[in-house]
Amino acid sequence: MLVASAAGPVRRVVWLVGLSHSTVHFVMLIFPAVLLLVQEEFNLGYFGLGLFASVGLLCYGVGALPAGVLADRLGGERILAVWLLGGSAACIGIGFSSGPVALVVGLAALGLFGSLHHPAGSGVLVALRNLVGLDVGRAFGLNGVLGNVGLAASPLLSAAVAVRWGWRSAFLVGAIPGLFVALPLWRNRALLVRQTTNLSPASAPRRIPVWKQLTLPLLILFALETLMGVVFQGFSTFLPAYLSERALIPGLTTARVARGGSFASLALLFGGLGHLVAGRLMASRHREVIFLAITGGTALSLFGMGATTGLALVFFSIALSITYFSLGTVSNTFIAVHTPPHLGGTAFGIAFTLALGVGSLASGAMGFLGQRFGLPAAFTTLGMVAVGATALVFWFGRAAGAWSQAPVAADATPLARSTPRDR
């Protein structure tokens, strides 16, 4: 339960982490939202566009592990402030780019700065769980909801700005939020540390190599994050273009960009509902069963997207948004539960390096499949990847003892010891 004197600062930090999450997803989805206009200007196919996206996404992944280590040592709030300022600068650079080379360099810089967010932000929430008893499931749920606000807003707003003033203007608009969130994050660290340092002092962790502190359930979760990273980067890169093509939207390219962005925003908006519900379901004694069902639902939604058109496609896109993003909250919560508190940033750094680094290959691969066989084949392939993820979740449940006749009691984990009063 939060100590009263710390509740205010903790709540502010949780919200600021969430706003940073919203910002990173907003700026990272600008390029997919304006992809058709970039294609028109530079005369590129889906494969070339996928390679452009892969450069930024690869950088988005490779910086995650060092970011997590730095967050554990220097404080996640400061690392978040660095990403927000650097990401805004990268967006401005792209906004003034004059050709494809400058665009790729800008996307790479944006990816590198953006890679700082997830391990640092998640590490902050894990540290607060240990320090003041934060309800980490609900914290990740709120964090996910705010992240989905950025995800849902980006296709709609970026496409609208791009159609009216050009795709470069969309990146200039994307530079604005980070400039407003960076300073409060930096300043709130000092306030939070002053008010929580003496609440629940933890003994100094023994100097044990990190790899010896990684349990089998945690390693399985890392593998799961890798596969789901492939799914996310694959579907998020081509979702606006796919909906504009398969939802049978007639008209010129600019009309396709605007309407495809609207449908993508509608679908992604429902992901916030998934985060919210999943955060509350994490108090259940049957959370591993819920985990398995959500992962299977993600696979079914992807297969549905690959096989349908029109309103049915929009429906399956909404279903994918709900299941995939609720899966993110569930997976992140389990990682937090199975991670030593002093390694929160490092563990999430590993997870996001795998998810975003390996996942970055999905944009180029899906672009190749889309160009060669059509985008439906790309989404069907992502469904097969999600089937593999479902098998990993079943293995995770077995490793965690969830499928045994005497499962671990609900009050036997740090997750269940948090109560709703900890919010």
pLDDT given for residue 57 in this prediction: 77
d(CA 59, CA 233): 13
Q: Is the pTM of this model over 0.75?
A: no
pLDDT given for residue 77 in this prediction: 81
Nearest of 187, 244, 267 to residue 9 by alpha carbon = 187
Domain 4-196+213-405: assigned CATH number: 1.20.1250.20
pLDDT in tens, the chain (423 residues): 444 445 667 778 888 899 999 999 899 889 888 887 888 888 877 777 777 877 887 888 778 888 888 877 777 788 898 999 999 999 999 999 888 889 999 999 999 999 889 888 887 887 776 565 566 677 777 887 888 788 778 877 888 898 889 889 999 999 999 999 888 877 765 444 444 444 444 444 455 555 566 788 889 999 999 999 888 878 877 777 777 777 654 443 444 454 444 555 656 667 667 777 777 777 777 888 999 999 999 999 999 988 988 888 888 988 988 898 888 888 888 887 887 766 667 788 888 888 877 777 777 787 788 778 888 888 899 999 999 999 999 999 888 887 774 444 333 444 433 333 333
Burial per residue of 301-318, b for 16 or more beta-carbon CB atoms within 10 angstroms, e otherwise: bbbbbbebeeeebbebbb
Q: CB–CB of 239/378 below 8 Å?
A: no
d(CA 338, CA 336): 6
Q: What residue type is 391 in one-letter code?
A: A
Domain boundaries, the chain: 4-196+213-405
Q: CB–CB of 387/299 below 8 Å?
A: yes
Nearest of 281, 248, 273, 245 to residue 376 by alpha carbon = 245
Q: What is the DSSP string of 80-135?
A: HHHHHHHHHHHHHHHHT--SHHHHHHHHHHHHHHHTTHHHHHHHHHHHHHHHH---
Tokens encoding 340: 């030593």
Query: Cα 54 to chain center, whole Å?
Result: 16
pLDDT given for residue 3 in this prediction: 40
Tokens encoding 275: 């985060």
Q: What residue type is 367 in one-letter code?
A: G
d(CA 244, CA 68): 37
d(CA 7, CA 38): 46
H helical segments located in 133-208: 136-165, 167-174, 176-196
CA distances from residue 177 to 85, 88, 117, 143, 201 in whole angstroms, order as listed: 10, 8, 14, 16, 35
Tokens encoding 310: 């029109």
pLDDT given for residue 299 in this prediction: 96
d(CA 149, CA 310): 24
